[in-house]
Amino acid sequence: MLGTAVGDALGLACEGLSPQRQLKMFPSLDNYGLLFGTGMISDDTEHTVMVAQSLITSGGQEDRFARSFAWRLRAWLLALPAGVGMATGRAIIKLWLCFPPSWSGVVSAGNGPAMRAAVLGVAYGDDVDAMTRLNRICARITHRDERAEHGAFTVAMAAHLAASSANALPAHEFLRIMTERLPAQSATLEAIRKVVASLNAGEPAPAFVAALGSRNGVTGYMLHTLPAVLHVWLRHQDDYIGGVTEMIRLGGDADSTAAIVGGLIGARVGCEGIPPHLLANLRDWPRSIKFIERVAQRLAQARQLDTPLSEVRSFCLATPLRNLFFLAVVLAHGFRRLLPPY
């Protein structure tokens, strides 16, 4: 979870920039670029924390998980987040209009479900059937498209393999595992095949992303995001900063893609593999580093006991004020982008 948070915060300043403009504005990615070296998180980390809290309070029981996550999404929207994906926003409005979680999702193949999926794999990957069902709930509550669901499942499975494998996973072995788990005609499986073929050919990530049709950076479309993420992750499984930096340098939806890659690599290397200064300089509140650590510990306890536990409390009334401050920071950063260098 900390890997997700740091990747999210590190990529946030570069979100929406082409690789060329990003390199001119941020020639170094050694520290956070949004607020004078101080990191703040966005919806990628917030949704990951909400999924973890829902797993804690539900104990992995599917109906309880769906209800818990649905209410957290409703409350999240009321807290005035600075950025809400189109599909996610429409789905939450449907939840507020009393649509059940099984029918709230909209037809969209966006990457929203993937950004929050890694924690499912780390927590429930040892029971793939349970993980599959929980992922289906988690994805379909906002995105009712099999490309979104299968992409999120792939991220969850990758996180499980990253956390549980003694050695770095060969690309061909990952393809074999996913071939057994995804439908034969799945567009997601075909995307994974393209990733492995590209890696076998020694193709660099920028050329691979350009071949996907993402010439100005990786888009939020699942079949652009997922292949780019896998291409970077499979080459940087033990190198957190190398993987996250390369992912950001590909441009586009940099906070989400870096959050996903950060979650995957972080699942393997742990806190020790994340540069200490990036952890120290991530000073968000009320979802602080210490808060995220407590959530992770409580989730591990709930999983070990296989029973629901109480959520980790935070000063939730402060969240709207924090979000307004965050919005001001984002707007100021947006105006800064209007200035050189171009």
Strand partners, 41: none
Q: Give the DSSP letter string of 82-148.
A: S---HHHHHHHHHHHTT--TTT--BS--BSHHHHTTHHHHHHHTTSHHHHHHHHHHHHHTTB--HHH
Handedness of CA 310, 312, 314, 320 (dihedral sign): negative
Distance separating alpha carbons of residues 211 and 241, to the nearest angstrom: 25
Residue 317 pLDDT greater than 90, yes or no? no
Residue 342 pLDDT greater than 90, yes or no? no
The band of 95, judged by pLDDT with boundaries at 50, 70 and 90, is very high
Distance separating alpha carbons of residues 60 and 149, to the nearest angstrom: 18
Residue 242 pLDDT greater than 90, yes or no? yes
Q: Is 82:327 a contact under the CB 8 Å cutoff?
A: yes
> CB atoms < 10 A from the CB of 197, how many?
13
Contacting residues for 280 by C-beta, under 8 A, at least 6 apart:
none
> CB atoms < 10 A from the CB of 112, how many?
29
> CB atoms < 10 A from the CB of 80, how many?
15
Q: What is the average pLDDT score of the chain?
A: 97
- The predicted structure's pLDDT at residue 214: 82
The band of 147, judged by pLDDT with boundaries at 50, 70 and 90, is very high
pTM of the model as a whole: 0.98
Q: Is 162:264 a contact under the CB 8 Å cutoff?
A: yes
271: tokens are 């806190």
Q: State the average pLDDT over residues 250-267.
A: 99
Distance separating alpha carbons of residues 214 and 208, to the nearest angstrom: 9
Q: State the average pLDDT over residues 240-262.
A: 99
CATH numbers and ranges of domains, the chain? 2-336 (1.10.4080.10)
Residue 146 pLDDT greater than 90, yes or no? yes
In degrees and rounded to multiples of 5, residue 203 shows phi and psi of -75, 130
Question: Is residue 256 packed enough to be buried (19+ CB in 10 Å), middle (13-18) or exposed (0-12)?
Answer: buried
pLDDT tens per residue across span 169-221: 999 999 999 999 999 999 999 999 999 999 999 999 999 999 999 888 999 99
Residue 117 pLDDT greater than 90, yes or no? yes
Cis, peptide link before residue 81, omega less than 30° from 0: no
